[in-house]
Amino acid sequence: MIKPSLKKSLPIILFLSGMIALILGHMLTLTVSLNGEILKIPIFALTSNQAVGQLGIQTSVYDAVQPTQNRWILFHPVLKIEQAVTYALYTDLQSAPVVVISPDKRPGNLFAAIDQPLFPGDRVLLNGLDVDPNQRIPYQPNQTLQLIRGTTLMLDQGSGSSTFSSSQPTVGLALYERNLPIQATDYVGYPLQTNLPEVQHLGYFTAAPYTIEVDGSTIQVMAAAKTTGAALANAGISLQGLDYSIPSADQPLPANGTIQVIRVKEEINLSQTKIPYESTFVGNPELELDQRKITKAGQYGVKVARERIRYENGVEYTRSTEAEWTAAEPVTEEVSYGQKVVINTLSTPQGTIEYWRAVSVYATAYSPCRSAADRCYYGTSLGLPVKQGVIGVTRAWYADLAGQAVYVPGYGSAVIADVGGGIPGKRWIDLGYTDDEFESKAIGVWPQTVTMYFLTPVPEVIPWILP
């Protein structure tokens, strides 16, 4: 028989037994997340701190445990334990690390906690190896993390420019990180092993075939460069001195694919030319008329010109005079001319004549209607009629010799009375005839070179030097 008092307590006892059985059933398999690792552990405990104690885990005030201590694990089926780690956080290798004790396992959060937030292109090293700053790192009681800030670069790819950040140590690794397939002939502007922090602007140009015309040869190359000069340098072709290229070295590579190299050479040439000397004439009364004697020799002067001669690809391109100067002044020649008049005689068909001057001349003939004029002229400049016995001379002679009596072999005695055009370079006279006389006496006889004799008397004014 059950006592009445027991009957009254039986429901309470049964309820408590059920609850105890339920609690015991849940504590048999506890899910534990230990530093991110999920474990299924048989355990007998009512609270979280009892469970931690049974697991044999030593916790500290820096650890994170959920649910917190003394919470019943019946209502929290997962026990989450994050053990604190002592981190040495380096932001640069020149400074001491910042020591942080934290249960957080994500590097990005750790650096943000010390006011060093991460930006695109930054890298984090765990014990010298790259890790994802947003992913958990494995638990170790002590960890070393290093933050490497990214370098912001301008990347020129011909069609446009863009910026990107990279924390890779070298140019090559930064481009590789961006999945740019760098070939040996591509152009990036820097050697691939260049330290990235030393660079601010990169070019990336893939190689294309080009023709280079240089030194008489045609060379086929693969070139990738921002400018023509860089393409030539990559091909081992240098522009030296005054050399230039088409397009010029600072211009982009040509669309037609052909680069011309023009080799330029300049020479300085000194040339000399003679400077004619002048002659001065001095009368000499002891020297016979029409005789000349050099009393002081003349000397040519020397003019020097400095010329710059430019050759392009071996062919003379330009020649210019840069300066001229007189290296030696000319020396004036001094000539004595005769002023001594000597009277001579000559036997002629007309008898003996006296003359005071004899000059070799080139004689032609004319008549009133045969003077090469536009009409017939019957009178002379001196007012005499045109007929045999009058002679025309150049205007230079006529000014000093008008009216002078002369004798011309084969023609006879005459007087200088007319002006004609003359023949350049010759001492010239023109023998006058009437039109009828010209037909019978001049044709077939003249022109010819003869000696003309100046007949006495000697004039008061003598032209000592005949032009």
Architecture of domain 85-148: Roll (3.10)
Torsion sign, CA atoms 322, 326, 328, 333 = positive
In this predicted structure, what is the pLDDT of residue 17? 55
In this predicted structure, what is the pLDDT of residue 25? 46
In this predicted structure, what is the pLDDT of residue 121? 83
In this predicted structure, what is the pLDDT of residue 95? 85
Q: What is the CATH number of domain 341-455?
A: 2.40.40
Task: Specify whether the CB–CB gap between 371 and 383 falls below 8 A.
Answer: no
The reply to whether domains 24-82 and 267-337 share a CATH topology is no
Domain borders along the chain are 24-82, 85-148, 151-203, 208-262, 267-337, 341-455
End-to-end C-alpha distance for the chain, whole angstroms: 183
267-337 fold: Resuscitation-promoting factor rpfb fold (2.20.230)
pLDDT along the chain (467 residues), means of 10: 56 58 53 79 68 72 75 67 88 87 91 90 88 91 89 74 77 76 70 75 77 92 83 89 94 91 94 94 95 95 95 93 94 96 96 97 96 90 96 96 97 97 94 95 96 97 94
Q: What is the CATH number of domain 24-82?
A: 3.10.20
Gap between the Cα atoms of 274 and 326, Å rounded:
10
Note the pTM of the prediction, 2 decimals: 0.46
Task: Specify whether the CB–CB gap between 4 and 50 falls below 8 A.
Answer: no
Q: What is the largest CA-CA distance in the chain?
A: 211
Gap between the Cα atoms of 123 and 125, Å rounded:
7
